[in-house]
Amino acid sequence: MDAFHTHTGVGIPLRRSNVDTDQIIPAVYLKRITRTGFEDGLFAAWRSDPTFVLNQPAFSSGSVLVAGPDFGTGSSREHAVWALLDYGIRVVISSRFADIFRGNSSKGGLLAAEVTQDDVELLWKLLENEPGASVTVDLEQQTIAARSLVIGFKIDPYTRWRLLEGWDDISLTLRHADEISEFEIGRPAFAPTTR
Amino acid sequence: MGQTLAEKVWAAHVVHAAQGEPDLLYIDLHLVHEVTSPQAFDGLRQTGRPVRRPDLTLATEDHNVPTLGIDLLIADPVSRTQVDTLRANCAEFGVRLFPMGNAEQGIVHVVGPQLGLTQPGMTIVCGDSHTSTHGAFGALAFGIGTSEVEHVLATQTLPLKPFRTMAITVEGALAPGVTAKDIILAVIAKIGTGGGQGYVLEYRGEAIRALSMEGRMTICNMSIEAGARAGMIAPDETTFGYIAGRDHAPSGALWDEAVAYWSSLVTDDDAVFDAEVVIDAAALTPFVTWGTNPGQGLPLSASVPDPEAIGDDNERINAERALEYMGLEAGTLLRDIRVDTVFLGSCTNGRIEDLRAAADILRGRHIDPNLRMLVVPGSMRVKVQAEAEGLDTIFTDAGAEWRSAGCSMCLGMNPDQLSPGERSASTSNRNFEGRQGKGGRTHLVSPLVAAATAVRGTLSSPADLEPVGALTSAGPAR
């Protein structure tokens, strides 16, 4: 996983709340067995609409998505994070993220930056007034800067540390392999197995 | 201070804890299916890691499988590739698999409980958000993403951040014709699709205690639709009675030991929940959704809401967009909404009691000739059981289609889909745009409402139907 320190890219105002993972990538794209190439499924239903924000030239190569509250609700599909990353999105900014989506983001190296809804509105206005404006997200400082606007964002310290270091989850856990083995010895005898 | 049920199960599974880090939790059972596992197995292969505990892992084919012609090759090449990939991965890594055609095949959340693998106090994960279903047994069960699937395969643990707890107390008794599905749709409408975010919900109260295990599974299944991490119900005699004698249930002295432990899995009297919601069961009536998220629901007796009357900007815009997508006008009586398809099945309502409830309504009746009804058992065991009870004949005599087990029309990943603009009454769990097929319009309902709707052609409850004796050969009165 690549480490994340700062990122600068075009901001995309996605004026929708409750963007569920079926909207981020419909189930039909989940049939693939590879780990890349999901960009064509990103917001698939909306991209047939010419007025959709990603169909506008100023935003189509954007990498910082600014969305309404409750982003990533619904299905646990990690493909939602992959589709965003494959498209080139490195940061999603929202006032509220669904838990599973937030967890999936940190594992994939996508930064889910939580700000207040007032700050989302400020960013939306700025990006709509100046289409193509770039946004700089600094994970060390936990700031988002666009033009003269500078706001802070929330992220839990552990996720922040992992993103900064680019740590892979399994390697982190396998440092505790002995403790896992010890725990297994103490499991109750009535616990079922699938055999 | 005492502990809640969820906190007890969590505490019993901590392998490693350190300040500022997520707890490392042991996972007792890992369920796997074809959609969210290929990339996880691929990751193991790339890093040369084995599956740590294949004996705590179980795979089944469900999302992609057709429910007709299951003895044939899957026609869609992409679906076939996913299923073939699962088979190859399970063979390579030594994971037990129930493939299409196997007597144990079915939807992952139907298979676990019916085998007795789902037991109180366990931690259960699966790359599927409806894993919350298993919480009905007092297990801490939740959906995970594909990276986490790989993590559990490799380590049998997951690093997890603590959650908050919310009590959902459903007081009193349900009126006849009101079901577990109506409770959970009402809960979601009350707290919203984000209302459970960060919480493990514990369903409590007289109405919950009175439910069967299958009703409890319906409720816990949809916890995720309120944004919750998981839903749980404390185990009791109903739970023990359901598990006893099943294939993977403990027996003899181990059974006594297990029941003694399971009986301790209740929220202590002096435990404190971070939030509490109280619902009056007696006030509940059949509930249906009108919009494009599971929180957009109302009693069947209501009308399609007027977005203009919604104060919150985001909610209003959501409602306007939902009505446009659903092709509905504000003020229309929900009972006047005509549907094209009725779907009875899914991990929410594809169990034997759901099929029995619907069959009771359809016995001696015929579905509206202008619609189709798909009845899809949640597992092959449910199918065999239903056929032994003659339910399949009741469904086919009524004009419904009787299928083989799978996720079917719950999601647009297999041949069972809605066409653009087609409207369904569906016992599944999600009414998102395009969930049942591109452009499809979904109303979430209980099995009883599904059956009554199939008869009348418009959203209906059994109370709307003429008694069977009053029917003429031309069908029910309208």
Q: What percent of chain B has pLDDT over 70?
A: 98
pLDDT grade for B230, boundaries at 50, 70 and 90: very high
Strand partners, B14: B25
Contact B412 A170 (CB under 8 A): no
- DSSP output for A111-130: EEEE--HHHHHHHHHHHHHS
Tens of pLDDT, residues B46-97: 889 999 999 999 999 999 999 998 888 899 888 999 999 999 999 999 999 9
Residue B457 has a pLDDT of 98
Residue A107 has a pLDDT of 83
Tell whether the model's pLDDT for residue B472 goes beyond 70.
Answer: no
Contact A170 B150 (CB under 8 A): yes
Whether the CB of B176 is below 8 Å from some CB of chain A: the reply is no
Average of per-residue pLDDT values in chain A: 94
Nearest Cβ partner for A194 among B58, B81, B250: B58
In this prediction, residues A124-142 reach a mean pLDDT of 98
Q: How far apart are CA B359 and CA B390, in angstroms?
A: 9
Whether the CB of B49 is below 8 Å from some CB of chain A: the reply is yes
Token pair recorded at residue A108: 């994939």
- Mutation site for B-interface testing, chosen from A175, A194, A195 by largest number of B Cβ within 10 Å: A194
- Mutation site for A-interface testing, chosen from B39, B313, B444 by largest number of A Cβ within 10 Å: B39
Asked if B63 contacts B76 with a C-beta cutoff of 8 angstroms, the reply is: no
In this prediction, residues A108-131 reach a mean pLDDT of 97
Asked if B134 contacts B243 with a C-beta cutoff of 8 angstroms, the reply is: no
Q: What is the SS3 assignment for B21?
A: coil
Residue A28 has a pLDDT of 86
In this prediction, residues B435-443 reach a mean pLDDT of 96
Nearest Cβ partner for B145 among A31, A76, A176: A76
Residue B470 has a pLDDT of 60
**Residue/partner pairs of B86-92 with CB below 8 Å, 24 or more apart:** B86/B32, B86/B33, B86/B34, B86/B37, B86/B38, B86/B59, B86/B61, B89/B37, B89/B38, B89/B41, B90/B32, B90/B59, B92/B41
In this prediction, residues B202-214 reach a mean pLDDT of 98
Identify all chain A residues contacting B57, using CB atoms and an 8 Å cutoff. Answer: 194
Contacts of A121 (CB under 8 A, 6+ apart): none
Residue B476 has a pLDDT of 45
Q: How far apart are CA A27 and CA A83, in angstroms?
A: 12
Q: What percent of chain B has pLDDT over 90?
A: 91
pLDDT grade for A35, boundaries at 50, 70 and 90: confident
Identify all chain B residues contacting A35, using CB atoms and an 8 Å cutoff. Answer: 39, 42
Residue A100 has a pLDDT of 86
Contact pairs from chain A to chain B, CB under 8 Å: 195
Tell whether the model's pLDDT for residue B477 goes beyond 60.
Answer: no
Average of per-residue pLDDT values in chain B: 95
Q: How far apart are CA A94 and CA A8, in angstroms?
A: 17
Tens of pLDDT, residues B146-197: 889 999 999 999 999 889 999 999 999 999 999 999 999 999 999 999 999 9
In this prediction, residues B451-476 reach a mean pLDDT of 83
Identify all chain A residues contacting B294, using CB atoms and an 8 Å cutoff. Answer: none
Whether the CB of B20 is below 8 Å from some CB of chain A: the reply is yes
Whether the CB of A165 is below 8 Å from some CB of chain B: the reply is no
Residue A33 has a pLDDT of 86
Flag the least confident range among A21-35, A53-67, A92-106.
A21-35
Tens of pLDDT, residues B360-406: 999 999 999 999 999 999 999 999 999 999 999 999 999 999 999 99
Q: Which amino acid is at A140?
A: E
Contacts of A93 (CB under 8 A, 6+ apart): A64, A65, A66, A67, A113, A114, A115, A120, A123, A137, A144, A153
Identify all chain B residues contacting A157, using CB atoms and an 8 Å cutoff. Answer: 20
Tens of pLDDT, residues B331-362: 999 999 999 999 999 999 999 999 999 999 99
Tell whether the model's pLDDT for residue B474 goes beyond 70.
Answer: no
Q: Does the pTM exceed 0.95?
A: no
Which ipTM value was assigned to this complex? 0.92
- Mutation site for A-interface testing, chosen from B119, B200, B310, B432 by largest number of A Cβ within 10 Å: B432
Residue B478 has a pLDDT of 40
